[in-house]
Structures are given as C-alpha cells and as structure tokens.
Amino acid sequence: MKDIKKFLNNNLIFAIIVFLVCFIFSVLIPYYQVPDEFKHIGFIYQELGSDIDISYESYAGGKDIALDLNKKFDIKNYDLKDKGPKLTLGTPKITMLGHLPQAVGILIGNVFKLPYVITIILGEMFAALFYAFFVYKALKYYPYNKLPFKLIMLLPICIQQAGSFSYDVMLFSLSYLLIAYILHIKEKKNEFETKDAIYILLMLMGIALVKIPYILLGTLIFLIPLKKYDLKIGKFVINEDVIKKNKIFIIIAFIIIFILGILVVKRIGEYNVLLAFLLNPIGLIKTIFFTLKEHVFGYVYTLVGNLAWLNIKTSYIYGIFIFLTYFIFMTCVKEEKKVNLSKRDKIFIFIFILIFFIIIQLALYDWTVRNVYDFKEFSGIGILDKVKYISEHNIGVSGVQGRYFIPLLPLFSLLFVRTGKNKNIKIFKIYEIVYYIILVGYLAYVIINRFWI
C-alpha cells in the first residue's frame, strides 16, 4: 500500500500519465474534430509567416464528418503522400507564442517534408507534452490537497484540448502554474522576491497572448501577505514598510491604472461592452439571469460530456460520477499541516470567482449580438448606445463553453481547504485509481465508438 501511495503522490508519474492519455486521445480523435482546429492550424501557418487561407475547412478531408453523426472516420483519409499546406517561413508574429508547442510540430514536419497527417500528430504530441510539463510544475508548487487539482487537469474536455491545436493548451497550462506559484509564495516561501514577480509577469504575458480577460488572474497576488514582499529593482525596494508608508500614493496609482485600463478597453469595440454593463447594472443582472437560465446546464455538461464539435455526448451518469468525485476530493480530504488560507482569503477568492465568472460571459455579449442576433455593427456603436441596447433587449450570452471556466476550478476548491486528520486516506487513494480507470476507459469507448467503429 505504501508503494501505491508513493506512486500516486509522484507528480512526475502523474504528468507522464497525463501526457500519454492526452496524446493517445489526440490520435483517437481525428484532425479537425476539435472546435475550430482547422482555423488554429491555419493561424499557426500565418503566425510563422506563411500567406495561407485559413478557410480550407475540408482540406485533407475530415471536417465534414463532424456535421454528420452517422459517418465514421476512414483511415484512407490519412494520405501519406499528401504533404499538406506548404510552409513558407517569413517573419514570425508574436502571437505565435500562443501556439508555441504546436508550431514546433508544424516546423519539424515541414522541415523534414513529412506527410501532413504526421505533421499534425507531431503538433498534437508537442501540445500534450507541453501541457504535461506544466501539469508537473503546477503540482510541484501547489501547496494544498492535490486530488481535486489533478482531477481538473484530466477532465474530459482538458484531455481533448491538451492534445489539440487549440490555444487552450497555453491558457490552461499557464493558468495552472500561475495559480499554483502564487499559492506557493503565500504558503511556502519566506519572501515575495523580484524574480517571483518576473515569473508571474511572464506567465500573465503568455496568457494575454491567448485571451486578454484571463490576465485578471494576476490579481491573485493580493493573497500574498504584505510581510513577504521584498521586491528590489536596483536601489528601489518594495516591502511591507514601504507599502504602508505610501499607501495613499499606491491607491492613487491603482486608480490611475484603473482609469487607463478603462480608456484602453473603451477603444476595443469587442470588449467595451463591459463598460456599458458597468453603466447599466440592471441590464447586467438581467443578462446574467437569462444567460444562466439558457446555458448553465451546458456549462457543466461541456466540461465532461459534450466533446468534439459539441456533438459527442457521454452518459449523464458519467458526468455525475466526475463531479461527485471532484466534490468528494475537494471536501473530504483535509490538510494535515497548518495552512495560511484565512476566511478573509476565502472571501476574496469567492468574490474573485464571481466577478471573473460574470466577465467571461459578458465578454461574449458583443459576439452574441453580432452573430446570433445579426446586429453586425454592434461593435462600432457608442457605449451609451450599447447601454440603451442592453436595456431594451433581454437576451442571454451565447457561445460560452464550460472549458472557458477551467482556470476558475482550482480556485473553487480553495474555498474548502481546511486542516485536520485524514483517517481514510487509503480509501481515497484506491478510489483515485478506480476513478482514473473509469474516466479514461469510458471516454476511450465513446471516442472509438463515435469515430472508428
């Protein structure tokens, strides 16, 4: 039993398992079957400097079967003579970093003139490897009960996205590590040093390249106690004493940054609708109400059982089993050592989750109006006109999927962190093994039955 416990507690072993599972499923799920994957492949070619049309939806076959559940994938679609789109290297774009691991696979495939299908598999392999590496690093730093965190990392939607060309690979990976590293500083480190701030800033820059709203995760640094601050830039020092002595100037600085942020957001038509909601709180409440009324079940189900182009459905029992396990791991396993996560911290985390949850939905309001309600000019109208539109239309936000909330799930489990003795830890370890066998086994059955048999 000790050997089994040691095996399950080994972060490297878990990361290797994550890589193998994600890579195997990336092969089992034919290319173009993850939402917008063909577009992401096209983006990578463009980001590497090629002039390529990303609208080649049927290129090399495959995408059409996503629209017809009666079709199976034919292995003959994998034509080993087909070299795929020709990569003409130009000046790489900075946005390429959002697809960095997949771009490595594309580059290798084109340099060695490999068949297109092999190039795609290489891109997916590097994506899975990248994801697994960050899983390992995040688990290494995460200071609390790792069971719910590990479960999140291997949710069915994460298995699918981690072995794909989606930029979710980058978003999920950096979000895990950012959250774990901030909590590591809070619990384990004696000081919050300059190098820590640089690491956090680099992670936030990577996240910003993928989805700008998620840089709000950076505000989690407020969980770090002031007494740990020891930031040094040359002769300039930021520590507890300096912060307390200059708190008025710091507050003014934050207000200025907030105003500048508003001015920047105001210039982005797709996101300045958030300012319209600030000016119309009643409209905000109504929009969130209609959104949850229409889509809350979809948010939950797309995490566990609505895969591929949202047309592969798993059993509801399977989904209940996953969420029940998450709840058990989150609430029943205690911290045997004292933790520094106070009630005040948990209140901050809860408020952060609530605000972030709302922002993620409202960020797609503009998309919903333009694409679902066919008001194509919505992005270009003034903020006051948007306030008026929100007041006059009771609509829910569409296009939001459960995977958009993946970075919030590790935070949710923090609300249940508490100290105490674990009397039945052996049972949890055995249950963990059984859970992963059922999780992967059933998912493999569903994917194989959908595409191949």
What string of pLDDT tens digits covers the 453 residues of the chain? 455 555 556 899 999 999 999 999 999 988 888 888 888 888 898 888 887 765 544 444 445 556 566 777 777 777 778 777 778 777 888 888 999 999 999 999 989 999 988 999 999 999 999 999 999 999 999 999 999 999 999 999 999 999 999 999 999 999 999 999 999 999 999 999 999 999 999 999 999 999 888 999 999 999 999 999 999 888 888 888 888 888 888 788 877 776 666 656 555 656 688 888 988 999 999 999 999 999 988 888 888 877 877 778 889 999 999 999 999 999 988 888 888 899 999 999 999 999 999 999 998 999 999 999 989 888 888 888 999 999 999 999 998 889 999 999 999 999 999 888 887 788 888 999 999 999 999 999 999 998 888
Tell me which residue of 339, 332, 302, 336 sits closest to 319, measured CA to CA: 302
Give me Rg for the CA atoms of the chain.
23
Compute the distance between CA of residue 99 and CA of residue 92 in angstroms, rounded to an integer. Answer: 12
Strands of the sheet containing 236-239, edge to edge, are: 192-193, 229-233, 236-239
Prediction pTM value: 0.92
Backbone angles phi, psi at 177, to 5 degrees: -65, -40
pLDDT of residue 429: 86
Tell me how crowded residue 320 is: count the other CB atoms within 10 A of its CB.
12
Tell me which residue of 157, 152, 97, 155 sits closest to 130, measured CA to CA: 97
Domain that holds residue 300: 2-451
pLDDT of residue 53: 67
* Total of domains in the chain: 1
pLDDT of residue 280: 93
Tell me the one-letter amino acid at 433. I
Does residue 147 contact residue 52 with C-beta atoms inside 8 Å?
no
DSSP state of 337: S
Q: How many helices (H) and strands (E) does the chain have?
A: 19, 5
Distance of CA 203 to the CA centre of its chain: 13
Backbone angles phi, psi at 15, to 5 degrees: -65, -40
